[in-house]
Structure 1
Amino acid sequence: MATTVRLGSFTPSVLLRVARDLDPALDVSETLVPSSPAQFRALYDGAYDAVLTSPDNVLGQPRRVEMLAAIDRGMGLALYGRGELRGARVGVDVPTSGFAFALYALAESLGVTRDEYEIVTLGSTPKRLAALLAGVCDYTMLNAGNELHAEAAGFTAVARVSEVCGPYLGTVLAALDPGPVGHLATRLVATAAAIVDGKHDELVISSTTAALGLERPLAERYLRRLKDPDEGLVPDGAIHASALATVAGLRRRFT
């Protein structure tokens, strides 16, 4: 009898939904997490079998966590907001996490140093999107479809990770014990390869609309991003040393 794989993620995974549609035997329960620290507490406590997370979160753990597959290259990760960045309230998951480190680098590329804006801890990307839309923060890092909601509301990307910090690794599938989630890793990689190859466009669009609440024109943009060689899915699932080195270098630089 199959055992349900319990997966913790930040934003609903379109890739996972397409994989489950293509393989009904893939039994995965996805739970959205409020923050990076909460995600790994739950992993250590046995609430999750695996997580979709930033590789920086794995690098920063005191215990060994294995990265099983590269999932994406950032999915449009960029600094979004409006108005003057200097003096702004800038939302992060936590100040010492991968997306925050990338934020610091993007701000520096715009000539704004870390002490010239206020950092506000707001949790996961969907929470930061809601905060940006509500005016709780002026800028934040968005990706994985959240940025498309922000653009629809009139916010713009002032700097992109793919242009400042490439090559970049945005998301990995990770676990304490890889054994129970090996099939999930295999299916996600195979599905990513098929999506990049253009084999399931309509399924991806419908899954994007259902999972992320994006209307078809934005869902079509999300599909194009999934296929983007600089920001999209990693079709072979390989964790390339150069992309991981970028993530590790940002951690060393800003810790």
Structure 2
Amino acid sequence: MQMTDLNVIAFPGGFNWPLWVGQKIGCFETEGLNVVVHATRDSRSQMSGLQSGDYQIAFTGFDNVLAYASDAGERAPLDPVALMGIDNGLLYLVGQSRFGEVSELRGQRIAVDALSTGYAFVLFALLEAAGLSTSDVQLESIGGVAQRFEALIAGSQEASLLVTPFDLMAQTHGLKIFERALNQLGAYQGVVAAATRAWLADNRDTVVRFIAAFRRALDWMLDRANRTEALEVLRDNLPALPEAILIETADRLSGTDEGFFPMARLDRAGMETALQLRLKFAPRNLGPVDQYFDENPWIEADRRIKGDIH
């Protein structure tokens, strides 16, 4: 079988677990794919790499798809489309422990990836629920979750949104979790697998095979019979994570409350929430949510899985 190279760019974190599993147990290889996972520092460089063709698939927040599809991103516009749903974001507002609640962050420095992309609007919603507007705090764009975590530890920022396992790691450094985003938002589409429409048009079969392979890896990973081996994959890829946090991360990611979407299917209600947040905090001409995702490759991959076609 001739192998197809596929470069995937993603933020660092436990939500890459199914990708690592797929590489480890040969799910991608079975579909004729040589998948290489690259880490990104921030959404701007991630989307720039997608646009240039250096990477073919990005694991990114659905709001980034909205931002760059609507020319609201912090780089040149492109035509990304969401193809597969990974999770609901696993987002937590974390800050210095000297603050008792979110409302006490008035006037403080709060780190974001980018001011108009990423999960900035989720942060704005959490601040608003606590009676704060964006003008009440000092928003600073410093990069992806790893950079924001480091800034919190260093004390150069007072708060930021973190994703699992960074929120758990933050607690071990004496930081405080103020709020879980889902408590305020309800349904929310966090990470998605996205590609440009132009690349998708020329590589549809590759995308279908990638989704099918990812689904098989996810199914294997979520099967309790494979728990020991799956944990080993997570451990190998997050070697600096203390064992207790690694186990808690695994439990959260594989749980039914806020973990991976079991079939990696996009959450329409969650995508609508992301769209409404963008319309609220950065009003501009956006179309209906259907314009920003294409579920047909997922449907084709689902048929492929059920028919066990390779």
TM-score (norm 2): 0.77
CA distance in 2, matches of 1:55, 1:69: 10
* Runs (5+) with no aligned partner, structure 2: 70-77, 283-310
Q: Which has the larger Rg?
A: 2
* Runs (5+) with no aligned partner, structure 1: none
Instruction: Identify the match of residue 174 of structure 1 among 170, 178, 194.
Output: 194
Distance 1:108 1:162, change over 3 A: same
How far is 1:132 from its partner? 1.0
CA distance in 1, matches of 2:232, 2:120: 31
Contact kept, 8 Å, 2:21 with 2:221, in 1: the verdict is no
- Are 2:249 and 1:222 aligned? yes
- Aligned-residue CA RMSD in angstroms? 1.7
Match of 1:3 in 2: 4
Contact kept, 8 Å, 1:204 with 1:223, in 2: the verdict is no
Contact kept, 8 Å, 1:67 with 1:174, in 2: the verdict is yes
Contact kept, 8 Å, 2:43 with 2:118, in 1: the verdict is no
Q: Deviations over 1:66-102 (max 9, x none)?
A: 212101111x311101224112110000011141100
Match of 1:237 in 2: 264
CA distance in 2, matches of 1:135, 1:159: 19
CA distance in 1, matches of 2:130, 2:107: 14
Match of 1:81 in 2: 95
Q: Deviations over 1:144-168 (max 9, x none)?
A: 3122211211212101111111211
- Are 2:38 and 1:31 aligned? yes
Matches of residues 1-255 of structure 1 in structure 2 within 5 Å?
A: 1-12=2-13, 13-23=16-26, 25=29, 26-62=33-69, 63-74=78-89, 76-82=90-96, 83=99, 84-176=104-196, 177-178=199-200, 179=204, 180-212=206-238, 213-255=240-282
CA distance in 2, matches of 1:204, 1:87: 44
Letter matched to residue 95 of structure 2: G
State the aligned residue count: 254
Letter matched to residue 70 of structure 1: G
Give the secondary structure class of the aligned counterpart of 2:224.
coil
Q: Deviations over 1:185-241 (max 9, x none)?
A: 222223223333424322332222232321221111111111233321011122121
Give the secondary structure class of the aligned counterpart of 1:72.
coil
Contact kept, 8 Å, 1:18 with 1:203, in 2: the verdict is no
